[in-house]
Structure 1
């Protein structure tokens, strides 16, 4: 599943790596992520005014280089259009758009979307990631990987009786 999250940037974040997300009305950075049911596959931190399609195009290329077995990705409505054809032609990746049905009202987590929404909830529990304090985007990406490492370590360290 691929999706992005916009977060407010601290005053130390330079104007060159921050932007204004007009949809969510946030001045800061955007974190496009690719996750599977087990955890994070890839993250890329960009200015918040970068479009979802442009960020997804670059991130999916990075993820398919690192994880050759990825064949199918689900996305929300922000990744429609030419990105679907690009993924199939250039990356040999089937990109499926998950859209709500016409009878759904309000905020509803769609099928397959719970995977990425769970990741965003875990990231927001990490106080360092609730707001972007990093000067460089590479440092901000490293903070996301660090937080996911702590989450995965906790999952692995649980006793077998707690998992059942």
Structure 2
């Protein structure tokens, strides 16, 4: 589970300033499975914290996937998030860097959601948030993911040219 801050056009309805990333736009809160497949997405204003947005997304996830038992998230998700997860019967593991580490380090499980963000950012329409309605913005993310998945399926389903 993670969020991505995205610049918005002036028409964007949920547009607000994310001081942490210095972006005037919105946040895409996403949850993916262990292979990077999209489970749920929410769009919030940039000012909404990861904890608040993640708590809402966690409620949605627990309704859609009642067997969900484990969630990995980054340091942006605070104690109230992990407390809410415990109430729902979900173990929330906050993955953080080792104290004193400098520079880039691949953190376990974190790269999966970051890879998902890289996958969907290839869709030109998701480079910036142009949508007026939050529901439309969510649908655009879902359609981009479906398109990417279908492209992968057609590549693996094609018969080989060498017969």
TM-score computed with the length of structure 2 as normaliser: 0.91
| Residues 1:3 and 2:5 aligned together | no
Q: Which runs of 5+ in 1 are unaligned?
A: none
**2-side partners of 1:72 and 1:39: how far apart?**
16
**1-side partners of 2:36 and 2:98: how far apart?**
27
Tell me the number of residue pairs that the alignment of Structure 1 and Structure 2 aligns: 158
Q: Which runs of 5+ in 2 are unaligned?
A: none
5 Å-filtered alignment, 1:65-76, equals: 65-76=63-74
| Residues 1:18 and 2:18 aligned together | no
TM-score computed with the length of structure 1 as normaliser: 0.91
| Residues 1:46 and 2:44 aligned together | yes
Structure 1: 4+ residue segments shifted above 3 A:
none
| Residues 1:102 and 2:102 aligned together | no
Cα offset, 1:123, TM superposition: 1.5
Cα offset, 1:18, TM superposition: 1.2
Cα offset, 1:71, TM superposition: 0.9
CA RMSD of aligned residues (A): 1.6
Equivalent in the alignment of 2:76: 78
